[in-house]
């Protein structure tokens, strides 16, 4: 299953800062034919209540607002498919070459997280500020009353190259799967 040509973003309100407006314009210029979906905080709450009511209690229990937004971004891309990008992400090239993949995440070769380095010996991390997935509208995936179904989904990691406030995505190949 391929990633659909859709961009999902979220912010507190529909009133965006100049930087966020520029980032949205950047995405729309690079992807003029793609569907664009934006959720403010109220729309996020409605989405979870309607589309994933079984997770409403978990959603409401998160202590920090960013935790709810992080949870939402996974649910939204899971439901609709497409690419989620934070409002401060600027792309230097279109995401179109990645549409033939089932799932992509940015791979950061050097983490700034002391916790990951100290507690887990990891000097890398996978970002959630920009990612794409084919979505759940296919057999074998989706939330169920008794928990999440598992699916054999191949993931491609994308090396992130920072250039001031922009980044370029470069394919690093398939992630080795452990069985």
Angle between helices 41-51 and 65-80 (to 10 degrees): 60
The domains of the chain are located at 6-140+151-174
Residues linked to residue 133 through DSSP beta bridges, in sequence order: 82, 103
The closest of 82, 120, 88 to 101, measured between CA atoms, is: 82
Those residues of the chain that have pLDDT short of 50 are: 138-179
Summarised one tens digit per residue, pLDDT across range 7-23 is 999 999 999 999 999 99
Q: Is the dihedral of CA 56, 59, 63, 69 positive or negative?
A: negative
Position 71 scores a pLDDT of: 93
């Amino acid at each position: 299953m391929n990633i659909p040509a859709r961009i999902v973003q979220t912010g507190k309100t529909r009133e965006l800062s100049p930087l966020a407006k520029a980032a949205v314009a950047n995405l729309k210029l690079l992807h003029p034919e793609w569907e664009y979906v934006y959720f403010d905080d109220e729309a996020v709450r409605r989405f979870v209540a309607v589309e994933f009511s079984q997770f409403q209690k978990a959603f409401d229990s998160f202590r920090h607002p960013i935790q709810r937004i992080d949870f939402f971004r996974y649910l939204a891309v899971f439901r609709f498919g497409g690419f989620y990008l934070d409002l401060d992400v600027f792309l230097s090239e279109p995401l179109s070459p990645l549409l033939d993949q089932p799932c992509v995440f940015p791979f950061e070769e050097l983490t700034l997280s002391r916790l990951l380095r100290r507690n887990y010996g990891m000097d890398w991390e996978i970002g959630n500020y920009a990612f794409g997935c084919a979505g759940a509208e296919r057999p074998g995936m989706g939330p169920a009353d008794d928990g999440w179904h598992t699916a054999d989904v191949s993931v491609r990691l994308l090396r992130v190259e920072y250039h001031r406030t922009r980044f370029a995505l470069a394919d690093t190949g398939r992630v080795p799967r452990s069985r």
